[in-house]
Structures are given as structure tokens and as C-alpha cells.
Structure 1
Amino acid sequence: MSSSTLRPEEQDRLQEQDVARRLLDSSARLSYDPATEVDWDTPLDKDFHGASPEWSTLYGTAYWQELSEAQRKELTRQEAASVASTGIWFEMILQQMVLRDIYTKDPTDADFQWALTEIADECRHSIMFARGAAKLGAPAYKPRRAVIELGRAFKTLAFGEAAYAAILVAEEVLDVMQRDWMRDERVVPFVRTINNIHVVEESRHMKFARDETRKRLRRAGPVRRQLNALVIAIASYFIVTSMVNRGVYANAGLDTERALTEAAANEHHRSLMRSSCAGLMEFLSSARLLTGPALFFYKRANLI
């Protein structure tokens, strides 16, 4: 039977299977083993930053100008470790949502197998981030207790486009900053390797999340679209505002209260976040997920 004689839903299903097969093929050709690809054995060289200094929450502030070069490097190492820890937290939420979504699906389907492949990638990424944060000399940074509990509710209740679009928001924000870090020779080499692995493998995950979001929205009425647009925006707000833990400043030897005050007013960092999310906001707009209430939370998170 030719594709032209298939019903629209059958054509959509064939297209989904084709996308999943291509993602599986890409994963087979281009995946990494962080256990062997990352240099875990060489001691940490403190002459390097942990992230591009321009991505520091204090870069461009009066406080940044007062810091010694050693203090700036320690701060970026702590901030990079905090971003990694937040990534682990959300990747654990992601894995549970994807598992719940495919629980009763046909395991012989390519999209089922791709979902399991994505979960396997996320498991390896979480271990990689954990080892990387430890090597940077950082503690286990975690979101605030209220945010952890909100995440627990979200991973249990979110479904369809709310789950997949929230995954996309988290991965898109990480992707842009890590593309800068992996090319920056001021960043410690093992962190650059970690970022390169994550960027390459997450490009497949973002393709999957975009396709799933569009697919789920085809069945969404106006009320569901409005509700999930707000849920996605609230989840995005808490993900983004949890990336840099307030503890990084004390662990870098800084005055926490002054650092928090200057970071909150740092227009350079706000501008960087907004510019990094331009493509993401364009996608959400095309999916009609940038409603008035949703925009309130994106603006509060400095994503638009």
C-alpha cells in the first residue's frame, strides 16, 4: 500500500517511526562512554575556569571587578558544578516522565526503543555530571526543598506536551551555555569534554522532545493548551532559577548576601539568558504556548 492511500493518522504513525529509527541510527553511530572519554584521573588544574567567565552570574558586576583571578575561577567552578547538579535533578524527573509515558506501549516499535535509548543516555549523563561536580571540588548542590517537592509533583502528574516541552526548555538552556563552554580554552579540559558529550547527545533528545510536543498538541483543545502552557512556564521558571545555588558564593569564599544582590541585578547575565533562549521562545510561540500567563513566568526567569 502506498503512503498516499493511508489515512492521515497512519501517515503520522509511519513518520513517527521513521524519525525514531533515524534517532536510533544516530545514537548507534555517535554516542560516547563518559567513563573512558573523560579524563577523570588528571588532578584538577585550578588555573582554569569551570565555565566561560561571561556566563558567571556575577560577570560584569562591581563585585566581579573586585575579585582576584583565582576567586573568579573558583566561582565559575562552583557555578558549573551547581548547573551539573541541577541537570542531574531534572534528568531524573525526565527519566521518570518518559518511562511513565511508554509504560504500556509496544516494545517492538522504534519510538519505544528510542525512548529507552534516551533514558540510557540520561543515566550516563547524570553519572558524568556527578563525577564532574565532584572533581570540581563542589558539594552536592540541590534545589530548595519547596522546588524539590514541586518537581516530585510535576514528574508524577505532568503528561503529554507539558512533560515534553518542559524537557525541551531544560535541555535548550543547557545546550546554549555548554556550546560556549566546550569551545572555551579557558575552561578546564575535562569540563569541555563533558559539555561536548552532552551537546552531541542532547541534540537528539531535543529533536525528540520537539516532535513529541508538536504531536501531543495536535490533540489539544484551547483549554488544555492554555493550562499546559502555564504548567510548562512555571516548570521552566523553577528549573532555570535553580541552576545556580546560593551556596556557590560561600563555597567560593564570597559574601553570599552581596553576591545574591548583585547577581539579581546583573543585566549582563539577564541579557545572556534571553539571547540564549531566542530559538526556544520561537518554537514555543509557533506551538502557541506563549500565552499571557506563561509570558509572566518566562519574563520573571529572564528567558524573554
Structure 2
Amino acid sequence: MTGTARVHYDPHVDIDWESPWQVDLFAMPPESLSLYGTRCWKALSAEQRRTLALHEAVSMWSTVAYLSAILTGNQLRRAAEEGLNSPASRAALEEVAGGSRTTITFGRLIRATSLPPYRPPVGTATAVKLLSFLPLGAASHAATLLVEETFASTMAGTVADAGVEPHVRQAVKIHDLDCASRFRFARSEVIAAQNKSNRIVRAYNRLLLSILANVILRITISPAVYRSVGLSSTRGLLGSRKNRADARRRNTASVVEFLDSAAMLDGVLTARLWKFTGALPQEENS
């Protein structure tokens, strides 16, 4: 096979959707919340903290499901362009299946909470839709890594945390199992695309990815989540600014290190744009 052989799961049957949502548990580990440890956090009641966790989780799941659905479209294009019997086409279809499972899993998880999904801001949504027209190359595979591997890092520790709602723990567990081989495949595809591209194509993909990174890494949690606990979006954003910055660097560290090793961060303009993301190590942002 082409590196896409993996354990599959069915999000419709491998999670017990019939069991009731346990409202007395957190939807994600408290320490991963954007306000954790801040003055605002200390002022919240236990119930408000669980409410904020639920809304932050739904916002995050909404984003990853939305972006995965769009990126899946690029793999469908690749399958069509490569010819349906080629190894590359079959690998692309495996990625379509994986991206679809991600979208279904977290879409159903949102439905189980009874909250509506969070939508990206209008201007950002328009920019994100450009992912549908992303050229098939290093940038498309790198964007997939940026979305799903960063999300996986954000949810690290969820499965082992008994204080997290069981639906969430199971969803994250099977997502992690499914994505391990997908991440390896996407990384190999980035390297392969880089190796077979000329200097101009590589520069174009680097620039495109750096622009996408500035959009993708800033829409994970909607500012509207803070209204669920009586805070304005502005106050929530200001109160969570340091935590957000720290989390962005921490959760993207593995992806950024890989992209750097694959020469996807090279170039003066590319490096400048990546600094704006806040995902680079602090010494590089100084």
C-alpha cells in the first residue's frame, strides 16, 4: 500500500450516541481552556467553568470539522486528476475517507451537546473558502497537517482525563488512532511535493501556506464563547491573550518544526508572515 493502511473506525457506531450527555463533566480538560488560571477564570463558578469549556469545545470542533470538510475537497480533486486506479488516487481517496470521518465525528459531537455549531466570522469564512481552490501540492498537505495535527495536540490529555465527558473522550481516542497514519502520510506527501517542485513552485507554496496559517490558527475559538458566561468578547479576548499565545506555540510546535525541516518556512516574506501567526518559538518572535 501507499502508506495509508490504517485502523478505521465508524463514528456512527463506535461512540454510544444514545447515552445522555453528562452535563456535570467538562467538555475538555480545564487547563486547556483559554481563560484557565486568569482573573476571569477565578471569578467563574464551577458551573460557569463547565459552560465555558462546552462552548470552547464546540467552537473548536466546529472549526476542525469545517476545515476538514473543505480540505477533503482537495483530495477528491486529486483522485479525479490522478486517475481512479493509480496508487496516488487510492491514497487520496483514503484521505477523503479520513477527513470525512473527522467531520462526521465532531459534527455529531456538537449535536450531542445540543448547542449550535460556531461559524467562522464572515470575512474569515470567505478567506477559508479559498482552501477549496488550493493547488494540489505541498501547501495543501501542509494545511491539512496544520488543521488536524494542531487540533490533536490541543486535545492531548483528554482521553486519560476522567473529568472529561465520555463522548468526548471516546471521540478523541478514535480520532487519534485514525489520524496517526494520516499525519505520517501527509508529512511524506509534503516532502515528496517539495522534492519534485522547482524553485518558483516551492516559493509559491511557502507563501500560500504562510497566508493560510494566519487565517487557520486564529479562528479555532470564537470570541463569542465568552458571552456564555457573561463576559464580553473583548474582555474574554484580552483576558485570554497570553494563554492563547502560549497554546498556539505549544500546539503547533510539532507541525512548525516539521515544516521548517521541509523548507516550508524559508524565504524572507514567508518568515515574516509566519511571525504574525504567533506559532514560532518565542526567540524567533522577538
| 1:302 maps onto 2:283 in alignment | no
Aligned to 2:48: 71
Aligned to 1:9: none
Cα separation, 2, equivalents of 1:125 and 1:172: 12
Cα RMSD, aligned residues only: 1.8
Cα separation, 2, equivalents of 1:103 and 1:161: 18
1:185 to 155, 162, 166: 162
Cα separation, 2, equivalents of 1:298 and 1:250: 30
Cα separation, 2, equivalents of 1:240 and 1:167: 12
After TM superposition, list the pairs within 5 Å mapping 1:108-257 onto structure 2.
108-257=85-234
Cα separation, 1, equivalents of 2:253 and 2:206: 17
Aligned to 2:74: 97
Cα separation, 1, equivalents of 2:278 and 2:113: 27
Aligned to 2:250: 275
Structure 1 residues 274 and 105, CA gap change in structure 2 (3 angstroms): same
Cα separation, 2, equivalents of 1:303 and 1:213: 19
Amino acid at match of 1:294: T
Deviations 1:6-43 (A, max 9, x none): xxxxxxxxxxxx4x1x423x2xxx21112111121222
Amino acid at match of 1:190: H
Cα separation, 2, equivalents of 1:275 and 1:38: 29
Q: Helix, strand or coil: the match of 2:159?
A: helix
User: Which structure 2 segments of 5+ residues have no match?
Assistant: 281-286
State the 1:271 CA deviation. Answer: 2.1
The 8 Å contact of residues 137 and 205 in structure 2, kept in 1 or not, is answered as: no
Cα separation, 2, equivalents of 1:70 and 1:294: 44
The 8 Å contact of residues 170 and 236 in structure 1, kept in 2 or not, is answered as: no
Amino acid at match of 2:246: S
State the 1:103 CA deviation. Answer: 1.3
The 8 Å contact of residues 159 and 170 in structure 2, kept in 1 or not, is answered as: yes
Cα separation, 1, equivalents of 2:195 and 2:170: 38
State the 1:242 CA deviation. Answer: 0.6
Cα separation, 2, equivalents of 1:286 and 1:125: 27
Aligned to 1:23: 4
1:287 to 225, 245, 262: 262
Cα separation, 2, equivalents of 1:203 and 1:225: 26
Report the count of equivalent residues: 279
Deviations 1:179-203 (A, max 9, x none): 3222221110110111111111111
The 8 Å contact of residues 15 and 170 in structure 2, kept in 1 or not, is answered as: yes
Q: Helix, strand or coil: the match of 1:299?
A: helix
Structure 1 residues 64 and 297, CA gap change in structure 2 (3 angstroms): farther
Amino acid at match of 1:64: W
TM-score (norm 2): 0.91
Tell me which protein shows more helix as a share of its residues.
1
Structure 1 residues 105 and 158, CA gap change in structure 2 (3 angstroms): closer
Amino acid at match of 2:27: G
The 8 Å contact of residues 142 and 209 in structure 2, kept in 1 or not, is answered as: yes
Cα separation, 2, equivalents of 1:88 and 1:113: 23
After TM superposition, list the pairs within 5 Å mapping 1:21-100 onto structure 2.
22-24=3-5, 26=6, 30-100=7-77
Aligned to 1:8: none
State the 1:74 CA deviation. Answer: 0.8
State the 1:77 CA deviation. Answer: 0.9
State the 1:223 CA deviation. Answer: 3.0
